[in-house]
Structure 1
Amino acid sequence: MTIHDFTSQSSLLNQFITEMRDVSIQKDAMRFRRNIERVGEVLSYECSKVLENTNETVTTPLGTKDTILPVKDVVICSILRAGLPLHQGILNYFDQAENAFVSAYRDHIDDGDEFEIVVNYMATPSLEGKTLLLVDPMLATGRTMKSVYDVLLRQGTPKNIHIISVLGSTEGLNYVKKHFPEDTHLWIAAVDDQLNSRGYIVPGLGDAGDLAYGTKRS
């Protein structure tokens, strides 16, 4: 797996991540969603640099111009519900992409620290031979990403896989590196070293879904 980690790079990504972490700023749900969206836009631009491309000729009012464009076989798949603003940011740039959505959540056994991943909804086009952008803002343990990928394979085997996340843990990165194909690319804005006993990133930013869309019932 090729990991593109922007944690130590000086860029506007740091500003967006800092605002998402800040307990006072993150109370503004609209700004929180927009910051996730902006991270998705930046990572999409970076990702576009390594996609397969094609040569095309465009006709202008005064002539023609040869240009290099990324291939148009992209499918964006986000994990509901926290993935929606990140999905939108990526779709803003890959505006001709197909779209897929998967619902997955952690089911904590007897409300303890142990949990299993439950996938109970999927809407996706065929993935056979396409470029899959698998989207989830939080890459904590990596188990949700792996479970969703396993389910998606029922819809065909992608030609290329790119995972796009806002914030992850070192453990989560190591997990997906172990369980995804070797030629997978991971694009992530920031990485923290720790997980707590319930598998949440520390210091992290909290529950991205709740911050974006409101607290849910357990």
Structure 2
Amino acid sequence: MKIHYLSENNSVLNHFLAQIRNTSVQNDSMRFRRNIERIGEVMAYEISKKLQYKSVQIQTPLGIKETTEIANKLVLCSILRAGLPLHTGFLNYFDSAENSFVSASRHHPNGDAEFEILVEYQALNALTDKTLLLVDPMLATGHSLVAVFNKLMQNANPTEIHIAVVIAAPEGIAYLQEQLPDNCQLWVGALDSHLNEKKYIVPGLGDAGDLAYGTKL
């Protein structure tokens, strides 16, 4: 699996990453959502450099212009609910993409730190011969993302697979490298230090879904 670490080079991406982590800024849920959306726009632009393009002729008011357009048939899939602002950012740039949604959540059957991943609601597009863009803000253990990926791959054969996460832990990246095929490309906004005893990313930013939409039960 090829991995792209986007924050290694200074850009406006790092400015947005700083704001979503900052406790004095992230308390504004509207601003938090917008910053995640803007991060999605930056990541979409970076991924666009790896897509295929076709030559086209465009009629302008004054003549014909030879240029290029994206040739890939894109399917954008986010993991509910935290993935929605990131999904919007990608969709702002890939506005002709089809859109899929899957819910995945941690379930603690014994009330302790141990959990299993529940994949429930699904609204999916066909993926065969298309390019999958799978987006989720936080890559902690990687189990949610792998569970959703396996669900998407049932009877599907996409031509390209790009996975985009805003903040990742080394443990999650290692798990994806073990579980996902080599033809996946992983795009990471920022790589953090480690997971704590509750499997949250440190220093991270907290719970992205709660910051965007309010504390869940």
Query: What TM bracket, shorter-length normalisation?
Result: over 0.9
Q: TM-score, normalised by structure 2?
A: 0.97
Structure 2 matches for 1:1-218, cutoff 5 A? 1-154=1-154, 156-217=156-217
**Residue 157 (structure 1) shift:** 1.7
CA distance in 2, matches of 1:215, 1:111: 18
Q: Which amino acid aligns with 1:148?
A: V
Q: Which amino acid aligns with 1:21?
A: R
**Residue 125 (structure 1) shift:** 1.3
Which is further off, 87-96 or 6-15? 6-15
Identity of aligned residues (%): 53
CA distance in 2, matches of 1:33, 1:205: 13
> For residues 9-28 of structure 1, what are the alpha-carbon distances to aligned partners after superposition, in whole Å with 9 as ceiling and x for unaligned?
21111111111111111100
User: In the comparison of the two structures, how many residue pairs are matched?
Assistant: 217
Detail structure 1 runs of 4+ shifted over 4 Å in the superposition. none
Do the aligned partners of 1:72 and 1:96 also contact (CA within 8 Å) in 2?
no
Secondary structure at 1:10 match in 2: coil
CA distance in 2, matches of 1:108, 1:191: 26
**Residue 155 (structure 1) shift:** 5.2
Do the aligned partners of 2:142 and 2:173 also contact (CA within 8 Å) in 1?
yes
CA distance in 2, matches of 1:56, 1:164: 29
Secondary structure at 1:136 match in 2: strand
Q: TM-score, normalised by structure 1?
A: 0.96
Structure 1 spans left out of the alignment, 5+ residues:
none
Computed over aligned residues only, the root mean square deviation of the Cα atoms, in angstroms, reads 1.1
Structure 2 spans left out of the alignment, 5+ residues:
none
